[in-house]
């Protein structure tokens, strides 16, 4: 099923992304679409950082306190062309509700990645991670499967890992579950 819903590719650049082995997350299996891991079973996400496609520096500490949608994508990935505009629609609806989105562009060329985002109308930030180092920080995570989405709760714990295209309705369902857990902002 993964072959039908995700892509893989080869690294094409040597840009640097930093990761910290401070998290305790170990990937075991993907989460069913639209569902989240029970709060008591969640593990802490590792710290990571790098450069966004717009050239600014990024550190995962800036995600603290918010629910985060991390989406691993590549300009070469056909399913990403379907998923990214749907993620943008959700982002527009929840960006002021304590939910952040972060794309992680893997195994890509910067110019192709920038053209992809412009073409699909994605406005949320994306890390440029051509070597897939952010994915490797999430121990055991299938770094070569794109698109893949990780949801982090407001405490920085991994609340879901979807190793497939995530339809808009399923992403909204998972975010509604996580927002219901969070204290009011």
* Digit-coded pLDDT (tens) for 31-70: 888 899 999 999 999 999 999 999 999 999 999 999 999 9
pLDDT, mean of residues 128-157: 86
* Digit-coded pLDDT (tens) for 97-142: 999 999 999 999 999 999 999 999 999 999 999 988 888 888 776 6
Topology of domain 2-19+27-181, per CATH?
Glutaredoxin (3.40.30)
* pLDDT at 149 > cutoff 90: yes
Q: What is the pTM of this model?
A: 0.84
* pLDDT at 1 > cutoff 90: no
* pLDDT at 143 > cutoff 70: no
Q: How far apart are CA 171 and CA 177, in angstroms?
A: 10
Our CA angle for 52, 55, 56, nearest 5°, is 70
Domain ranges of the chain: 2-19+27-181
pLDDT band per the 50, 70, 90 thresholds, residue 28:
low
| pLDDT at 14 (0 to 100) | 34
pLDDT band per the 50, 70, 90 thresholds, residue 12:
very low
pLDDT, mean of residues 6-25: 44
* Digit-coded pLDDT (tens) for 83-103: 999 999 999 999 999 999 999
| pLDDT at 11 (0 to 100) | 33
- Range in 1-5, 38-42, 111-115, 166-170 the model is least confident about: 1-5
Q: How far apart are CA 50 and CA 60, in angstroms?
A: 9
Q: How far apart are CA 107 and CA 14, in angstroms?
A: 10
Q: Look at strands 43-44 and 126-129 and give their pairing.
A: unpaired
| pLDDT at 145 (0 to 100) | 81
């Amino acid at each position: 099923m993964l072959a039908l819903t995700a892509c893989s590719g080869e690294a094409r650049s040597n840009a640097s992304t930093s990761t910290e082995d401070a998290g305790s997350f170990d990937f075991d299996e993907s989460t069913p679409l639209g569902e989240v891991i029970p709060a008591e079973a969640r593990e802490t996400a590792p710290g990571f950082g790098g450069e966004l496609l717009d050239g600014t520096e990024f550190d995962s500490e800036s995600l603290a306190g918010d629910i985060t949608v991390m989406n691993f994508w590549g300009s070469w990935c056909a399913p990403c062309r379907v998923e990214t505009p749907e993620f943008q629609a959700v982002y527009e609806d929840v960006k002021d509700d304590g939910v952040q989105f972060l794309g992680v562009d893997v195994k890509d060329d910067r110019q192709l990645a920038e053209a992809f985002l412009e073409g699909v109308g994605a406005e949320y930030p994306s890390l440029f991670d051509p070597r897939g180092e952010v994915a490797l920080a999430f121990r055991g995570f299938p770094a070569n499967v794109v698109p893949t989405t990780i949801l982090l709760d407001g405490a920085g714990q991994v609340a879901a890992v979807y190793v497939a295209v995530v339809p808009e309705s399923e992403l909204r369902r998972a975010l509604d579950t996580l927002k219901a857990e969070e204290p009011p902002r």
